[in-house]
Amino acid sequence: MTHFVHDLRLAQLADSYRSGALTPRQLLPALRAEAAALNTSNPVFIHLLTEAELEPYLLALDSKGPDELPLYGVPFAIKDNIDLAGIPTTAACPAYAYTPAASATLVQQLIDLGAIPLGKTNLDQFATGLNGTRSPYGVCHNATHPDYPAGGSSSGSALSVALGLCSFALGTDTAGSGRVPAALGNLVGLKQTRGLLSVAGVVPACRTLDCVTYFAATAAECSKLLGLTARQDSADDYSRANPLWNAPDAFGTPRPFRFGVPKAVEFLGCTESPALFEQAIAQLKAMGGTPVEIDLAPFMAAAKLLYEGPWVAERYSVAGELIETNPDAVLPVIRSVLEKAPEFTAQDSFDYQYRLQTFKVICDQILANVDCVLTPTIPRPVTLAELEAEPVARNSDLGYYTNFMNLLDYAAVAVPSGFMANGLPWGVTLFSRAYTDQYLLSLAAALQQHTNLPLSGERALDSQLPSTPARNDMARVVVCGAHLDGLPLNWQLRQRGGRLLEATDSSADYKLYALAGGPPMRPGMLRVSEGGRAIKVEVWELPSRELGSFLTGIPAPLGLGKVQLADGRWETGFICDPYGLKGATDITEFGGWKDWLASR
């Protein structure tokens, strides 16, 4: 066990630097010494930077301060399939190793922000595995219970944070490698939307599916890291731009939400996981969530394609030549996974893509009706002894709920939600549509606040969520007239995928008018300083991408602005320009458009 040199969470570390209680030159050598001592019994690092290798990074900070660089002096670890300039990249295969001249785009971003790499971490060879035992550099043991694995393939990265050696770490995720180790390490693991973080300078597992991921103690830290580094990269052909609804300020306090719960949940015989999952459902309900039963079967069917289809051949494109020329350089279990790859044909590739697209359409329709879906991150933990006896089957157990995410292009966050009787951490995953990363992190942060579980190192959670509401890819619109449910213009909302959230009232500060001229039967709602009352309204939700076309179709003098609701919330809604009230009829006394219509 480490004695925890310092609280390495981002905000706490920055405070220590600002106060002068600590400097990077004091912290990094101490962490390096501690990591070296730990590495003798638990091989977290494949390469720890030497003092000489650390010096350039420390030197670059000597003339800077914590108020100049957002990640000033923050120690981080790098999975050893991600390039760090001048340090060998092995992908846990010595025969494959090379020394890059430049760092991966994301690594360089972090260094430019002030972060300091402590070393390159152990992993399942070629990132093929979910357990952390498939490495010639040694088996990674769980930070809590030595009879269990750390999880993989990003085993060393997760351990570096769980053991208090780094503030955060980079992993990769193709089938769950950024989430399974988080679940087993009492960490938050962010598998962001594919392409939000650059994979330039990353040894691919499946290039079309790969994501670089963050491990941290809290969802709030993952949110900050994502906000700092989600940038489109011309060096990465799969890089994508981040929409503004997923910008850093989308991280906030969740409003009432709907979360999908599988109607059939598989725990593979675990006796403790069912109660822990029910506890997580109750926790989300207490946060304002409404559970909605969903069918997870099409998601699971998509997951099966990953190791049946041409994505195995995509993995083979990296290690295949080495397997053919020097098979003993690749671990037998990795060869057994990849050996069928040459059997796949070009036709197979398209056939599997067609099958995947069929599942994608079905799954997207399910996700359209909820804000996120809740699953266990793993159905049950497996022991090192079980992995040794049945390495492929037990590895598959760990990926039961993770394999479909990248195939279907979803964002996912693994978050701690409890502990098992033997002390092992247990967690859940929240997933949703692409570009809902900050929203999912908001829910994960709220869950951490609600459960208040001890963090890695027995630290207590003390960060607060921003008071602003969390945002996702859906926009809310308050309607008061012809767009109300059942009225003539409601189709304009439904055609755009709109969904009625609630019927409620405005605050008692509005007047309602029947406008003169123009299209018949138009209401105008105006905020007033006196003489107003609460007006019956509806809150609808529609995809943010559709809001622009809805707005441009609204005729003057109406428009969209901010409307205050009875509970004090401000939402986007219909408002009326005062000039449009000439000749209008004041119908405020009726309290709502439908009530006025019924009186005529």
Question: Measured between alpha carbons, how far is 461 from 493 in angstroms, rounded to an integer?
Answer: 41
Question: Measured between alpha carbons, how far is 134 from 329 in angstroms, rounded to an integer?
Answer: 13
Q: Tell me which of 16, 103, 135, 153 is the catalytic residue.
A: 153
Maximal C-alpha separation, the chain: 87
CB-CB contact of 569 with 476 (8 Å) = no
φ, ψ at 72 (rounded to 5°)? -55, 120
CB-CB contact of 392 with 337 (8 Å) = yes
Q: Count CB neighbours of 125 within 10 A.
A: 26
φ, ψ at 343 (rounded to 5°)? -75, -20
Helix 51-61 vs helix 24-39: crossing angle, to nearest 10: 150
Q: Tell me which of 16, 154, 160, 177 is the catalytic residue.
A: 177
Q: Where are the alpha helices (DSSP H) in 376-436?
A: 384-389, 391-398, 404-407
Question: Measured between alpha carbons, how far is 107 from 71 in angstroms, rounded to an integer?
Answer: 12
Q: Count CB neighbours of 272 within 10 A.
A: 17
**SS3 state of residue 298:** helix
Q: Tell me which of 79, 120, 360, 594 is the catalytic residue.
A: 79
Q: At residue 421, what is the residue type?
A: A
Q: Where are the alpha helices (DSSP H) in 218-328?
A: 219-229, 273-286, 297-308, 311-325
* Token output for 390: 């049945």
Q: Count CB neighbours of 587 within 10 A.
A: 21
List, edge to edge, every strand of the sheet that includes 570-576: 499-505, 536-543, 474-479, 570-576, 558-564
CB-CB contact of 571 with 563 (8 Å) = yes
Catalytic-residue membership of 154: no
Q: Count CB neighbours of 63 within 10 A.
A: 7
CB-CB contact of 252 with 469 (8 Å) = yes
Q: Where are the alpha helices (DSSP H) in 417-490?
A: 437-451
Residue found by looking up tokens 């599997």 in the block: 352
* Pairing between β-strand 558-564 and β-strand 570-576 as defined by DSSP bridges: antiparallel
Catalytic-residue membership of 79: yes
Among 78, 165, 178, residue whose Cα is nearest residue 122: 78
CB-CB contact of 428 with 277 (8 Å) = yes
- Describe the chain by its helix, strand, coil percentages, rounded to 5: 35, 20, 45
Catalytic-residue membership of 19: no
The single-letter DSSP state of residue 171 is E
Among 271, 214, 276, 564, residue whose Cα is nearest residue 413: 214
The single-letter DSSP state of residue 122 is P
Residue found by looking up tokens 């990953």 in the block: 306
* Token output for 144: 């809590």
Catalytically active residues, by annotation: 79, 153, 177
